[in-house]
Structure 1
Amino acid sequence: MVKLVDLYKSFGEQTVLNGINLEIPRGKLTFIMGRSGTGKSVLLKHIIGLLKPDRGQILIDGQDVTHLSEKEWQRLRRKFGFLFQEGALFDSMTVAENVAFPLIEHTKLSKKEIQRKVEEKLSQVGLLEARNKYPAELSGGMKKRAALARALALEPEIILFDEPTTGLDPMLQVATMKLIRKTQQQYGLTGVVVTHDVPIALMAADYIAFLNEGRVVAEGTPEEIKKSEHPFVREFLKSAFEGCYPEEGRDVQEKHGD
């Protein structure tokens, strides 16, 4: 669905993407992981055309999109849904108006058809009763669900999630990730999730790619990642498990003889 080939991006003297090579499988949920500030969100912005690489290719359905005009990108973005880290809801609009916004902007549907689609998406994320509330009246978890409903409004083929569980308590993190997983499977979406949350990734991912120093240093299924011999991945997993589950952290440490 999406293929990144020798992707480079620098901001001034800082190299963020240093030759990224990655294939994102169609109809699967792929997690991009690594330290904070390692370029995960920058990578997402390249996939959706908000940033252009210094060099390299981004292939979507086999088409190199790195040289598309903004007008061409506007058409292509109909394939995408994007869930920003903070939700990015419009404060002056109700939940229903937020979900309706992309339908009003990008389709010629009637008001009645738009209302039907809005109610359908809100029902799927369990927010129909909150349709007339404003973002300030919502909890953190409800804001994430409202943002997910809006991201699904145009029925995209690819949906991108930037730290979708950040700022939520552990129970809401799991509930939100289960909702994302259920939605992805229901629609057969190609999903890309940026996170540094190891337990969430191992629970929900079909495929995981680890970034370090601007490159993909390991990739595979959750089981393959857990068995990775790459030093950075081993240390990342060990640190995460020691922080969340001390016993599992020790198991990982003993397994690798560290």
Structure 2
Amino acid sequence: MVKTDRDILTTTEAAKLLGVSVRTAQLLIEGGTVRSWKTPGGHRRVYRADIEALIEGPAIDPNLPSANVIGGSDEVTYSDAGGAFPIAPNESQRLAALDRSGLLDTPPEEAFDRLTWLAAQTLDAPISLMAMLTPTRQWFKSRLGLDLVETPRSWAFCNHTILQQGVFWVEDLSADPRFAANPAVAGDEGFRFYAGAPILDREGFAMGTLCVIDNRPRTLNERETRTLSALAALGSTEVRLRGTERQLREALRRD
């Protein structure tokens, strides 16, 4: 099929479609997240379909029995030494998928560090994290603005994020009864604002989240919500690519 001018976007047009700044779009494109090419005049171009795919995120079949279970009447609560937190009925399947991902306790990677940096910059947040949730820990695959490598699972605001699709955010954590007593809110850290979006594997299981945190109450506007959702979709794509690469390596070893 012959591509028309409507199928091809400039960096500025891509930024507008994504709802991010032109600088952020440049970083995504030049970093190789989106395939691109240069015109004879030296201007970058991308396909509209690739940008729209970023916005939509990974395709998940809702009819798959392994697809992410969303919170609601089926949601249950689990408690550990640090407190209580909600989990989905298929938590054991999610944890098995997380173990298969091979991401836990691995060194930092540029692809994920780039996402947390972009999230912090575009949402003007002092803290940005890619958090993975084990049975007992919230472990940070990538972190910006926070010295902690991990926290108890019960501290994780992301427990609520992985129970839903899309962006979950809380304007003032200290005013929300679900989080007011959380040590990260009531203690020295003094967290006030949280916003996160799930990072999903190819089967729809939430490996973790991409999130931002602030020490002051605030809100998210539509552009910021779309930005966080798009960046989390990029994180999902990276997770899926690693899964494909691991399967290929295993297949080669068997051969």
Q: Same fold (TM over 0.5)?
A: no
Greater share of residues in helix: 1
TM-score norm. by structure 1 comes to 0.23
TM-score norm. by structure 2 comes to 0.23
Q: Larger relative CO (CA 8 A, sep 6+): 1 or 2?
A: 1
